[in-house]
Amino acid sequence: MRQQIIDTKINLHASGEADECLFEYLHAEMVNYALSKSCKNKEGEEELSRLEWMGFSVGYRIIERLTREWNRFKDELDMIKFICTDFWSSLYHKQIDNLRTNHHGVYVLQDNSFRLLNKVGTNSNKQYLQETPRLLSFTCGLLRGSLANLGIISTVNAEISTLPSCKFHVQVQRI
C-alpha cells in the first residue's frame, strides 16, 4: 500500500512538477490569514508569530520524513550542511548558495533566488522590501523546527537586502 502511494507521487513529478504552485498559493493564503489576525506592535512591525509557529510545526515533522534513511550526523555543521543541500533542494528546488559560520554557533545561510521571493521583484526593486518579512517568517519557523528536531535549539532571523536573495541567520542556543 505504502509503496503504491510513493509510486504515484514519483509519476506526478515526472509529469512536470505541477503541484509546485499549489504550495505557493497556500503559503500566500497563510500569510494573508496571519496578517488579518495580527495587530501591529509598538515599533510598527507586523506580528508574525502565527506564521512562525506553523513553519515550526511543519519543519519539526518534515525533517523526520527526510532523514528517515539517512546516516547519523557527525556534528552540528554536518546537520547544517544537510539543511543547506538536501533539505533545501527538496523543499525549495535549489540549494543554499552560500553558508558562513563563525564556528561558535552562528550560521548564515544565503539563498540568492529564494523560491517564495523570486516572483515578488528582482534587480534591487525596492517597492516591496517592506513587506518581505511576512514572506520569510514561515521559512524561519521551518528552519527552527527542523533544527529543533535534530537536537539544536536555535533562533532564526531573516535578512533581505536585495530581492530575490535573502539570508537566514541561525543562532544556536547553548545550554
Partner 1 sequence: MSRAGTKLDSKKVFCMKNILRYDENLYIINSELFTLTYGALVAQLLKDYENVEDVNKQLERMGYNMGIRLIEDFLARTGSGRCYDFRDTAEKIQTGFKIFLGITPTITNWSAAGDEFSLCFEANPLTEFVELPDHCLNLKYCNVLIGVLRGACEMVQMEIACWFVQDQLKNDNVTELRIKFIKRLEDAIPAGED
Residues near partner 1, by CB under 8 A: 5-6, 8-13, 15-23, 25-30, 32-33, 37, 50, 53-55, 57-58, 61-62, 65-66, 69, 77, 81, 84-86, 89-91, 93-103, 106, 108, 169, 171
> At closest approach, how far in Å is the CB of 138 from partner 1?
8
Indicate the residue among 5 and 175 with the shorter CB distance to partner 1. Answer: 5
What is the C-alpha to C-alpha distance for residues 58 and 119, in angstroms, rounded to an integer? 23
What is the C-alpha to C-alpha distance for residues 158 and 48, in angstroms, rounded to an integer? 13
Q: C-alpha grid cell for residue 141?
A: 519557523
Indicate the residue among 101 and 121 with the shorter CB distance to partner 1. Answer: 101
Residue 49: which of 6, 74, 40 has the closest Cα?
40
Indicate the residue among 62 and 160 with the shorter CB distance to partner 1. Answer: 62
> At closest approach, how far in Å is the CB of 123 from partner 1?
22
> At closest approach, how far in Å is the CB of 44 from partner 1?
21
What is the C-alpha to C-alpha distance for residues 94 and 2, in angstroms, rounded to an integer? 28
DSSP state of 104: S
Residue carrying the nine cell digits 516591496: 128
